Amino acid sequence: MNMVGALLVLVVRDPSERLLDGALGFAAGVMLAASFTSLIVPGIELTEIVVPGVPATGLLSPVPVLAGIVLGVLVLDQADHWVPHVHVLITGQSRPDQTVVDPKVASVILFIVAITIHNMPEGLAVGVGFGSGNVANGLSLMIAIGLQNVPEGLAVSIAAINAGFDRRTYAVLTGIRSGLVEIPLTVIGAVAVAIAAPILPYAMGFAAGGMLFVISDEILPETHSRGHERVATLGTMVGVVVMLYLDVALAA
C-alpha cells in the first residue's frame, strides 16, 4: 500500500497541505485504534494462556503487555535521537530546541533511513498479529497498516521531491522503498512468536508501543503544524471509527 500512496504523486500533482494533513490524520486514527483492538487488548487476554504463572485477572495480568509497550517506546525514542524527525524531513523545519531552520533537506539517504526506521514497528505488528494464531487480529492489523501506508507513501514521495528529486519517478521509488522494510519484519515477528509463545504478550506490547510512539511523536505533530488542526482531527476520528468497524466486522 506504500506503492499505492507513492504512485498517487503521479496523479495528484500538487496535493494541498489540507488534504495531506487530513490523510495523515486518518492514518493516525487507524493506527491508534489498531494498537488497542488488535495488539494491546488481545495481548492481555493471551497472557494467562502463554505466560506461566500469570493469572487471568489481578494486578499482574497486564504487566507483560505493559512492559512490552514501555520497551517499544524506549527503543523508538532512542532511534529518534539518531535520526531526524520525519516532520523535519518533510517540512524542512528544525526541532523546537534548535535555532537553525533548513528550508531544503540536503541528504536524501538520511531521509530514506528516517522513514524506514519509523515503518519498522508496523511490519513487526502485522507479523506478531498473525503469529498469535488469531487470523482476525492479523487481518485487522494488515488492513490498518495498509490503510495508513497510502497517505504515508504519498507524503514520502512528496518529501522526496522537496528533498531534491527532480523526477517524480525517483520520488515514487523512494516512497515504495521506504515501506519494504515492513515485509521482512512481518516474517520475523510471526516466526519469533510462533517459536516462543511466552514472548507473545511482550511482542504485542512492543509493537503497540512502537506504533503509539510514531503516532504521538511524528504523525500528529506533523498534521498540526500547518494550521489545519480541525481537518487533521476529523481525519483522525474517521480513522478510528473505520478501524473499529473493520475490527468488529472481521471478528464476526
Q: Using one digit for the tens of pLDDT, what is the confidence trace for 137-184? A: 677 777 776 766 665 566 566 555 555 555 555 455 555 555 565 667
Cβ atoms of residues 94 and 88 within 8 Å: yes
Q: Is the Cα torsion angle 202, 205, 211, 214 positive or negative in sign? A: negative
Q: What are the grid coordinates assigned to 229, written together?
A: 488542526
Q: What is the pLDDT of residue 5?
A: 52
Residue-level pLDDT at 55: 67
Q: How far apart are CA 102 and CA 122, in angstroms?
A: 29
Q: Domain locations in the chain? A: 2-9+17-51+60-251
Contacts of 143 (CB under 8 A, 6+ apart): 246, 250
Vertex 179: Cα angle to 177 and 182 (nearest 5): 125
How close are the terminal C-alpha atoms of the chain, in Å?
Answer: 25
Walking along the chain (252 residues) 10 residues at a time, the average pLDDT comes out as: 54 71 82 84 80 70 91 84 57 48 43 53 69 70 69 59 52 53 69 72 85 82 85 92 81 62
* 91 grid coordinates: 517540512
Helix axes 200-214, 63-82, angle to 10 degrees: 40
Q: CB within 8 A of 187, min separation 6: which ones?
A: 127
Q: Find where cell 515485509 sits.
A: 183
